[in-house]
Amino acid sequence: MNSRFVSMSRRTASWLSAPGMETAVALSSRVRLARNLRGLEYPHSANGDTLERVVTYVAAGRERSPKLAESAYYRGLDLTELDSDFLVERHLISPAFTESDDHKATLIDPTEQVSIMVNEEDHLRVQAIVPGLNVRSAFKIADTYDDELCAHLEIDYDPDFGFLTACPTNVGTGMRASTLLHLPGLVLTREIDLVIARITKLGLAVRGFYGEGSDVLGNLFQISNQTTLGVSEDETLDNIELITRQIIDEELVARRRLISEAGEQIEDKIWRAFGILKYARSLSSEEVMNMLSAVRLGVSLGRIEFLSLSQVNELLLLSQPAHLQMYYDEEMDPTRRDVVRADLVREKLRAADPRSEP
Amino acid sequence: MNSRFVSMSRRTASWLSAPGMETAVALSSRVRLARNLRGLEYPHSANGDTLERVVTYVAAGRERSPKLAESAYYRGLDLTELDSDFLVERHLISPAFTESDDHKATLIDPTEQVSIMVNEEDHLRVQAIVPGLNVRSAFKIADTYDDELCAHLEIDYDPDFGFLTACPTNVGTGMRASTLLHLPGLVLTREIDLVIARITKLGLAVRGFYGEGSDVLGNLFQISNQTTLGVSEDETLDNIELITRQIIDEELVARRRLISEAGEQIEDKIWRAFGILKYARSLSSEEVMNMLSAVRLGVSLGRIEFLSLSQVNELLLLSQPAHLQMYYDEEMDPTRRDVVRADLVREKLRAADPRSEP
């Protein structure tokens, strides 16, 4: 197969492995900025020539910026479908971005904290992702890249409205800040629907693991702002951070309640999930996320002491379809993937000091 | 609690632990003989005085027979409900026998191979049980006890009909021979219904784990003869042995077919069951039998090498409700039993050389 991402697949994404704040609940924080080049039609209405000019301008801007020049640069046409799926699973590009290869490019910084999509919904989408709850740090990182773009390209900015974007919902800051949260406690206590209703009323969106339009898998929820006009970046970041902290507190209360009111059932659920992961010979990607969710709960509750949260996070990442194929450097049909996924999960769990099992 | 059966519960029944023939499929072979005392009404129509005389005669006969005197002797009234349930689980008495305590007695030989129920459906029911496929050996053992009874008590025998019994279906030899078979292969290949239909046509009965009126659990089936009149013991034993051998062959063919046609699914099923047994914190008695059935299949197929069939058989026996309570010498409600059952299963599986796990 020899994809350029084989070696990347064998290390955990930094946003999942590095230490962070509130990692018992918050997997990651992300900020993306929507930017456009002045005087060029937005991607949805632009013709091929225009889109190609966008790519050319960005490539040239990258050459002029020592910081941007350090990032890897991929033309859409150079990526296979599997490469694209891999980058989506790694949360470096969006699912929508993979729908066509034409006139697209992606920049990824060496630490994998920052990626820039060229000709997604906007000409430029800069994204920074960090572990745990820390939207402000994600913003700072994205902001330094935004400064580079503004210094080396002509970015569309209106003194009244702010940044101009393809979709009116992004005009203003052009920023979306989000946190990825693991909420098994709220799901098991059935409080999640109330929490989602409240968050939605506060003007935030709740989505699944892969963002917009994706299903909730493994009790992973993404919370993000909807408003970009008439608010500052600071206000948005404060708001996301505040509401995320509230949800984290509610999740931790729910976990404690579960343990005190249904401790034996919860332990049973956690350890059965661990037993299945440790011994199954075939695991679908949906099942593995659900089982890992229970194991992650077990680790965060101190019930599974010989695994760390980042080991569980690594498995969440690696067991995804494109990651599996990259990791083993082999294209596989779904049935084969399920078998290989189970092999990989077993191997990783076995490596995690089995003698310390209770 | 201090039941007299606590120590018995901590050793495996000899019919499940000793080496035997065809143990990959056949758990045990059993023969029971129905006998009655001459001149006394059968239990269903006898009054209390008559039943009490039966008990007295049998107790006196036991005293006169050095062989019978070696067996433990329990009056029904001396046994708690838990004691009775325990003996049922150990297949030493029948479920029907436990319905009332009055005017009942039980003899159990020191090796647990033979038990005699007094005032079940007949005045006397002698039963011998041996491991694996060996109805002839079970018959020989039961027969020596029958000889003792005939030597020391007046047994109802008609030169034309043979032994007379409470139910006409037992008249003649008074013998029922049965084998307890583990048939996961035939169940998984869905051939079991055809096999059962064929056995039934041949005049044999197919029952569940606890005999007459019991459900099939853990893919365990009991095959027994229905005819006792106009056939000799030898003919019946040959017939049961022959048909059991046929079923065993079909089961082994089905297992090989499963492995060659659906090897990965079967391995997955086996190892998931093992993983659940090894890690669950609560296990119902039904679930444990189904999971142990899959593990037993795995052991017999050489897929789980660090466990023996007799270790699995021991768990099948010990994880039953009354056994659990005896083992821990504590009365428990069903919820507590499920937790303790999971503890016991985990402890036993952990003792089975975990380092040799593949």
Query: What are the C-alpha distances in Å from B171 to residues A146, B54, B160, B168?
Result: 96, 20, 11, 5
DSSP B145-177: HHHHHHHHS-B-EETTTEE--SSGGGTBT-EEE
Three-class DSSP category at A357: coil
Report the DSSP beta bridge partners of residue B206: B223
CB B243 within 8 A of CB B227: no
pLDDT greater than 80 at residue A101: no
* Res. B208 pLDDT band, cuts 50 70 90: confident
What are the tens digits of pLDDT across the range A42-100? 999 999 999 999 999 999 999 999 999 999 999 987 899 999 999 999 999 999 999 88
Residue B27 to residue B23: CA distance in whole angstroms? 6
Mutate to test the interface with B, among A271, A338, A356, A357 (most CBs of B within 10 A): A271
Please say if the pLDDT value at position A141 is more than 90.
yes
Taking each continuous run of H as one helix and of E as one strand, the counts in chain A are 13, 10
Q: What is the pLDDT of residue A227?
A: 83
Q: Are A319 and A292 in contact (CB under 8 A)?
A: yes
Tell whether the model's pLDDT for residue A311 goes beyond 60. yes
Please answer whether residues B41 and B157 qualify as being in contact, where contact means their C-beta atoms are separated by less than 8 angstroms. no
User: Model pTM?
Assistant: 0.89
How near does any CA of chain A get to the CA of B264, in Å?
7
Angle, CA of A182, A287 and A251, to the nearest 5°: 20
CA neighbor of A106 nearest in space, from A96, A97, A114, A116: A116
In this predicted structure, what is the pLDDT of residue B104? 95
Mean pLDDT of chain A: 91
* CA-closest candidate to residue B60, choices B178, B180, B149: B149
Q: In sequence order, which residues have a C-beta less than 8 Å from that of residue B78 and are 6 or more positions away?
A: none
pLDDT band at A249 (very low <50, low <70, confident <90, very high): very high
- Altogether, the residues listed in chain A come to a count of 358
How many CA atoms are closer than 13 Å to the CA of B46, on its beta-carbon side? 24
Whether the complex's predicted ipTM surpasses the cut of 0.90: no
Measured between beta carbons, the chain B residues lying within 8 angstroms of A341 are none
Over the stretch B62-105, which tens digit does the pLDDT of each residue have? 999 999 999 999 998 789 999 999 999 999 999 999 988 789 99
What's the rounded Cα separation, in Å, for the pair A119 and A44?
Answer: 9
Alpha-carbon distance A230 to A197, whole Å? 24
Amino acid at B69: A
The per-residue pLDDT for B350 is 87
Ordered alpha helix ranges (H), B10-80: 14-17, 48-64, 66-69
What is the predicted pLDDT for the residue at A355? 53
DSSP conformation class of A307: S
Q: What is the pLDDT of residues A40-52, one digit of tens each?
A: 999 999 999 999 9
Strands B175-182, B162-163: pairing is unpaired
- Phi/psi for B211 (5° steps) reads 80, -155
What percentage of residues in chain A have a pLDDT greater than 70?
96
CB of B271 less than 8 A from some CB of A: yes
Of the partner residues B264, B275, B342, the one whose CB lies closest to the CB of residue A276: B275
Q: What is the mean pLDDT of residues A153-162?
A: 93
The reported pLDDT for the residue numbered B353 is 59
Candidate from B9-13, B141-145, B305-309 with smallest mean pLDDT? B9-13
Give A266 to chain B, closest Cα distance, Å.
9
Q: What is the number of CB-based contacts under 8 A between chain A and chain B?
A: 53
* Closest-CA residue to B194 (of B256, B250, B263): B250
Supply the Cα-derived Rg of chain B in whole angstroms. Answer: 21
Q: For residue B354, what pLDDT is reported? A: 55
Instruction: Say whether B271 and A280 touch across the interface (CB within 8 A).
Output: yes
Closest CA to A89 of A18, A9, A4: A9
